[in-house]
Structure 1
Amino acid sequence: MSVKKAVIIVILLECLVAAFAFYNYGQSLEALQAVTRYSGRVSLLVFSTIFLLLPQHEGTLERLLSPRPFLVFVIAHGIHLAELLSFVYLSGNELIPVRLAGGFVAYIFIFAMPVVKQYTLTGKLSIQRYRVIQTVYLYYVWFIFFMTYLPRVQGKLAGAGGQYWEFVILLAWVCMMLGMKLQTFIRFSR
């Protein structure tokens, strides 16, 4: 799939989840919270594809997502970040410094990864270093998704919006992703 087509699909998905949220919640702060939540799930879908297919199935990833999957994820998660910042600002919610720091590092990774990949393609960064950075990126961003849903399942984030069962399913999916990744790693290391 081309980068342009992947970006258009991501933007269409973001528009659909926004329409769904506003249809269900009207024009309200609750709707913006729902848009932010659903947008995070679009990002999780894009990241799941990247996480599960790299590095062993890079060709499949390029066919499914684009030759620049990190850029597609930047766009999806950049939209989510804009919605999240809008919601936090408008709602007056207090930010939790530890969660903020972990998310900040994840966003640095997310926004830097397309540049890191480009440096590798142009020979400015060795394949070995790229593989190390890619591995750290994949598992760190996975960990942030895990830490997004764990406290919600534990009931530690009052006012997070959404239903408990949604968070259980999302946490189970994130855990299954790690299991599938480790299974692929074991299979390819033999």
Structure 2
Amino acid sequence: MSFISQRRIFKKMEWGKSEIKKNGNQFDPCEKKEIDRGKRMNLFQFLFLAIGVEIFLAHLTYFQFGEVNLESFKVFVRYSGRFSYLTFLILMISENHPKKIEKILSTKPYSAFVIVHGIHLSFVFAYLYLSGKIPAIGRLLPGMLAYLFIFLSPWFEKSFLQKLHPSRWTRRIYTLYIWIIFVMTFLPKIFKTPAEQKSLLFELYFFLSLGLGTLLFWIVQEWKNRKEISF
């Protein structure tokens, strides 16, 4: 085969590839990266989402009470806490699935949880200031330690998500401790409520069951992925 014939064949092959790409029958890896990047949520977008949810909860509380007072604000703070709790459960479920978590809690999920819980903390401080209440020291210290863990987590975020060996148990302790603190907020009211009125605590039982189910799922996922830890 002559050199000129080889060049003609080569040009035909190049023309065919360009036509296939134009018709969309060939998937370009670069295009895949762009699509994947488009599906991810960044931290700035999540901030707007979190603020939007808090505004919705504020309106929901207002429609429930019809006025703004200390009691309605207390309920709003509780709703905000439930939102923070659900955000944490999503973080637990998605810890071993980084690609899925990027679509829900952004590419920095631990920082996203800091945003949600930080907003909730500001509402808690506002309620304590307006009501003049001071929490008991026995409840304050475990909560303060939990907030310390939460606000320090962004510094370990990269190693948590990459499952680096040195941070394996740090991440597990963080997750379990925050889970315990959340669940402990439900138990006192359940235990203190008289037996004849416990049927009214459907909401608390629902969130408690959701937390227990999430913990079981998390333990199973940790066990399945125990060999994927990077050194």
Coarse TM-score class (shorter-chain normalised): 0.7 to 0.9
Moved more, 29-38 or 130-139: 130-139
RMSD: 2.0
What is the rounded CA distance, in whole Å, between the counterparts of 1:180 and 1:37 in structure 2? 26
Matching residue of 1:52:
93
What is the rounded CA distance, in whole Å, between the counterparts of 2:189 and 2:208 in structure 1? 9
CA-to-aligned-CA distance 1:133-168 (integer Å, 9 cap, x gap): 211111110110111111122127xxxxxx622111
Equivalent of 1:18 in 44, 54, 58: 58
Contact 1:10 1:76 in 2 (8 A): yes
| TM-score where L is the length of structure 2 | 0.71
Matching residue of 2:36:
none
Q: Provide the secondary structure at the position in 1 that maps to 2:106.
A: coil
Matching residue of 2:78:
37
Matches within 5 A, 1:29-178: 29-54=70-95, 56-117=96-157, 120=159, 127-155=164-192, 164-178=201-215
What is the rounded CA distance, in whole Å, between the counterparts of 2:45 and 2:190 in structure 1? 35
Q: Count matched residues.
A: 178
Q: Which amino acid aligns with 2:190?
A: V
What is the rounded CA distance, in whole Å, between the counterparts of 2:64 and 2:226 in structure 1? 47
Unaligned runs of 5+ in 1: 157-162
Q: Provide the secondary structure at the position in 1 that maps to 2:185.
A: helix
What is the rounded CA distance, in whole Å, between the counterparts of 1:63 and 1:12 in structure 2? 17
Share of identical aligned residues, percent? Answer: 30
What is the rounded CA distance, in whole Å, between the counterparts of 1:84 and 1:168 in structure 2? 23
Q: Which amino acid aligns with 2:92?
A: F
Q: Which amino acid aligns with 2:128?
A: V
Contact 1:117 1:130 in 2 (8 A): no
- The runs of at least 4 aligned residues of structure 1 exceeding 6 Å deviation read none
Q: Provide the secondary structure at the position in 1 that maps to 2:107.
A: coil
1:186, distance to aligned residue in structure 2 (A): 3.3
CA 1:128–1:52 in 2, change beyond 3 Å: closer, same or farther?
Answer: same
What is the rounded CA distance, in whole Å, between the counterparts of 1:139 and 1:145 in structure 2? 10
Matching residue of 2:7:
none
Larger Rg over CA atoms: 2
Unaligned runs of 5+ in 2: 1-40, 194-199
1:72, distance to aligned residue in structure 2 (A): 1.0
| TM-score where L is the length of structure 1 | 0.86
Matching residue of 1:183:
220
Q: Which amino acid aligns with 2:179?
A: W
Q: Which amino acid aligns with 1:28?
A: N
1:189, distance to aligned residue in structure 2 (A): 4.4
CA-to-aligned-CA distance 1:33-64 (integer Å, 9 cap, x gap): 0110000111112111111121x212211222
